[in-house]
Amino acid sequence: MATNRITQLFGIQYPIIQGGMVWCSGWKLAAAVSNNGGLGLLGAGSMHLDVLREHIRKCRAATNKPFGVNIPLRYPEIEPAMQLIVEEGVQIVFTSAGNPATWTSFLKNNGITVAHVVSNTKFAVKCEEAGVDALVAEGFEAGGHNGREETTSMTLIPQIRRATGLPLLAAGGIALGQQILAAIVLGADGVQIGTRFALTQESSASEAFKRACIASQEGDTMLTLKKLVPTRLIKNNFFQQVAAAEERGASIDELTALLGKGRAKKGIFEGDVENGELEIGQAASLIDDIPTVAEVMQEFLPFISKII
Amino acid sequence: MATNRITQLFGIQYPIIQGGMVWCSGWKLAAAVSNNGGLGLLGAGSMHLDVLREHIRKCRAATNKPFGVNIPLRYPEIEPAMQLIVEEGVQIVFTSAGNPATWTSFLKNNGITVAHVVSNTKFAVKCEEAGVDALVAEGFEAGGHNGREETTSMTLIPQIRRATGLPLLAAGGIALGQQILAAIVLGADGVQIGTRFALTQESSASEAFKRACIASQEGDTMLTLKKLVPTRLIKNNFFQQVAAAEERGASIDELTALLGKGRAKKGIFEGDVENGELEIGQAASLIDDIPTVAEVMQEFLPFISKII
């Protein structure tokens, strides 16, 4: 079986990582991706500590293949979460939304392979200095939280490739086999795919969210809430309220109040597609079915066979 | 010599079109690109009628290869401009910024090959209905005027490829050979390149503009003026004024007054890099030299040889 730097680093068959997405990436999704030759990630960002522990254990019971945890460094209980990850014997951690210098040494000292998500070269270089094992370069197309510089995958991948020799995963806008191939041509060693896996049978998102996403057309997502954390959302009723507030120059405090608490849960997990935050990538417009993970991987295989 | 649909349609050697950019794309640039096997386009958007006529004649004198004219359909004297294009025997016209149904029949009836620039599928389908010969799909990464839906090249190219069978040129974020190859993998038949050709010796932009662009880093351009026409600019003093006005919710009238007249000429042609509009694509951050067109084409050749 052919391999490359990504498959070797994570001990997987194909250089396909499933993004650890809030309210989508529980043990069912992660185990399915790992069982199908990719790397599944649990999305700790939407899990309390006890839920995270439960999902790690269930994922381990459901697959004998490698899997990992994605944890945003803004996680409110980050110290006990990192302890828990070590205690539970997690072997692979993807960190995001923060400085890679903070937790990389701790994780590496505990024998964990570490990848970090960046949206610019500056943080890519910081990752290399911090001893991170692999990078995820996430473009403007990606769903959910996003970088401030709005650099797209087409520009970002070659830019990061120039800046560092680290194994590089491209993310943002990648849902089809030919997009995987394009990312490799641009300089990536593999891909991290969010949107396509969020819209599968095994994703823990609500059926209503999945249906709203596959019904969306080109131009139906937009990067918004830029005064808070730039976030790509479907343009539903909640989005329109934010857009109206921003148009009249609403302050950070007003926007924070408008956002409130639990909007992503409401939209993605509870299925309130009008008043929730529907975090999904631009590539949703290219998707119009809700297949199993195995079916998605089958679609990718002819393209993967060209790259490893 | 190998060919494809784009080289056959325009009678050129390589499927590389030089974007017709305001204040950059005069006869020197267009003739140089055509003489080096691509398709040079004159940028009529910044030319009065007499200047356009002069550039067409000088371009014809400088090359015996095909070249074309790019004309935005918002051009203030559009009817005499189209008459002039026919009178001067121009064989290829790229239209942009408007409805392709308006002028395509007129141009086709005069034996002219027509391409139209779109940023979404809806207009791509309109182009096909209007009888356009080829499409340019321009992503969010592109410099200058841009679409409202912010769809990036990674997502837009496969989306447009699905919607129409027309010969397809990808534009936006493409400055390197591997980006040309990636665009082809995503479904394009060729590319339209702006930024890389704007920053060559033969471009008519000012030296100060070119130097500001090659000095720019990742994140130094941003899509702005979204209440008027979304425009990608370098974040100079003028940009900061616009950003501050937008943050406090400035009206369309206020923004129009702030923009004033002739900002792009001031920035690009006259070289006022602080107070002018510096229209350039995200890919400027990947560029740090001002070579000749021949040198740029030489860099592309190893990649072009893989696609045709």
Per-residue pLDDT of chain B (308 residues; tens, 9 = 90+): 578 999 999 999 999 999 999 999 999 999 999 999 999 999 999 999 999 999 999 999 999 999 999 999 999 999 999 999 999 999 999 999 889 999 999 999 999 999 999 999 999 999 999 999 999 999 999 999 999 999 999 999 999 999 999 999 999 999 999 999 999 999 999 999 999 999 999 999 999 999 999 999 999 999 999 999 999 999 999 999 999 999 888 999 999 999 999 999 999 999 999 999 999 999 999 999 999 999 999 999 999 988 87
Among A121, A152, A159, the residue with its CB nearest the CB of B153 is: A152
SS (H, E, C) chain A: CCCCHHHHHHCCCCCEEECCCCCCCCHHHHHHHHHCCCEEEEEHHHCCHHHHHHHHHHHHHHCCCCEEEEEECCCCCHHHHHHHHHHCCCCEEEEECCCCCCCHHHHHHCCCEEEEEECCHHHHHHHHHHCCCEEEEECCCCCEECCCCCCCHHHHHHHHHHHCCCCEEEECCCCCHHHHHHHHHCCCCEEEECHHHHCCCCCCCCHHHHHHHHHCCCCCEEEECCCCCCEEEECCHHHHHHHHHHHCCCCHHHHHHHHCCCHHHHHHHCCCCCCCCCECCHHHHHCCCCCCHHHHHHHHHHHHHHHC
**A154 and B173 in contact by Cβ < 8 A?**
yes
**B154 and A247 in contact by Cβ < 8 A?**
no
Given this model, what pLDDT does residue B173 score? Answer: 98
Given this model, what pLDDT does residue B2 score? Answer: 73
**A150 and B223 in contact by Cβ < 8 A?**
yes
Report if pTM > 0.80: yes
Among B172, B181, B285, the residue with its CB nearest the CB of A185 is: B181
CA distance A273 to chain B (A): 21
Chain A residue with minimum CA distance to B252: A247
Beta bridge partners of B222: B233
**Sequence ranges of chain B with CATH classification 3.20.20.70:** 5-204+288-304
Q: Which site among A152, A252, A286 would you substitute to test the B interface, given the most B Cβ atoms closer than 10 Å to its Cβ?
A: A152
CA distance B110 to chain A (A): 35
Q: Contact at 8 Å (CB) between A22 and A97?
A: no
Contacts of A223 in chain B (CB under 8 A): 150
CA distance B48 to chain A (A): 34
**Sequence ranges of chain A with CATH classification 3.20.20.70:** 5-204+287-307
**B159 and A286 in contact by Cβ < 8 A?**
yes
Given this model, what pLDDT does residue A49 score? Answer: 98
Among A148, A153, A223, the residue with its CB nearest the CB of B154 is: A153
Among B153, B158, B162, the residue with its CB nearest the CB of A154 is: B153
Contacts of A154 in chain B (CB under 8 A): 139, 141, 152-154, 172-174, 179, 182
Contacts of B285 in chain A (CB under 8 A): 151, 155, 159
By DSSP bridging, strand B168-171 and strand B134-138 are parallel
**A155 and B187 in contact by Cβ < 8 A?**
no
Given this model, what pLDDT does residue A306 score? Answer: 87
Q: Edge to edge, what strands does the sheet with B221-224 contain?
A: B144-145, B231-234, B221-224
**A173 and B152 in contact by Cβ < 8 A?**
yes
Given this model, what pLDDT does residue B1 score? Answer: 54
Contacts of A158 in chain B (CB under 8 A): 176, 178-179, 286
**A222 and B150 in contact by Cβ < 8 A?**
yes
Beta bridge partners of A43: A70
Q: B5-204+288-304: what CATH class?
A: alpha beta
Among A141, A158, A248, the residue with its CB nearest the CB of B178 is: A158
Contacts of A150 in chain B (CB under 8 A): 140, 219, 222-223
Chain A residue with minimum CA distance to B246: A249
Q: Number of residue pairs across A and B with CB atoms under 8 Å?
A: 118
Q: Which site among A121, A122, A141, A154 would you substitute to test the B interface, given the most B Cβ atoms closer than 10 Å to its Cβ?
A: A154
Among B181, B187, B218, the residue with its CB nearest the CB of A121 is: B218
Contacts of A112 (CB under 8 A, 6+ apart): A85, A86, A90, A91, A92, A93
By DSSP bridging, strand B168-171 and strand B16-18 are unpaired
List, for residues B197-228, the tens digit of each pLDDT value: 999 999 999 999 999 999 999 999 999 999 99
**B248 and A247 in contact by Cβ < 8 A?**
no
Q: Contact at 8 Å (CB) between B156 and B128?
A: no
Q: Contact at 8 Å (CB) between B125 and B163?
A: yes
Q: Which site among A125, A149, A155, A286 would you substitute to test the B interface, given the most B Cβ atoms closer than 10 Å to its Cβ?
A: A155
Contacts of A194 in chain B (CB under 8 A): none
List, for residues A37-53, the tens digit of each pLDDT value: 999 999 999 999 999 99
Chain A residue with minimum CA distance to B183: A182
Contacts of A153 in chain B (CB under 8 A): 152, 154
Average pLDDT, chain A: 97
**B282 and A172 in contact by Cβ < 8 A?**
no
| CA A102 to mean position of chain CA atoms | 20
pLDDT band, very low/low/confident/very high, at A2 (cuts 50, 70, 90): confident
Gap between the terminal Cα atoms of chain B: 9
Q: Which two tokens stand for residue A159?
A: 């830019």
Q: A5-204+287-307: what CATH class?
A: alpha beta
The Cα A174–Cα B158 span in angstroms is: 11
Q: Which two tokens stand for residue B79?
A: 């009817």
Chain A residue with minimum CA distance to B187: A178
Percent of the residues in chain A that have a pLDDT greater than 70, as a whole number = 100
ipTM over 0.90: yes
Given this model, what pLDDT does residue A1 score? Answer: 54
Given this model, what pLDDT does residue B62 score? Answer: 98
List, for residues A191-226, the tens digit of each pLDDT value: 999 999 999 999 999 999 999 999 999 999 999 999
Q: Which site among B120, B148, B155, B234 would you substitute to test the A interface, given the most A Cβ atoms closer than 10 Å to its Cβ?
A: B155
**A155 and B173 in contact by Cβ < 8 A?**
yes
Q: Which two tokens stand for residue B168?
A: 């397809």
Contacts of B223 in chain A (CB under 8 A): 150
Given this model, what pLDDT does residue B122 score? Answer: 96
The Cα B68–Cα B17 span in angstroms is: 10
Chain A residue with minimum CA distance to B243: A249
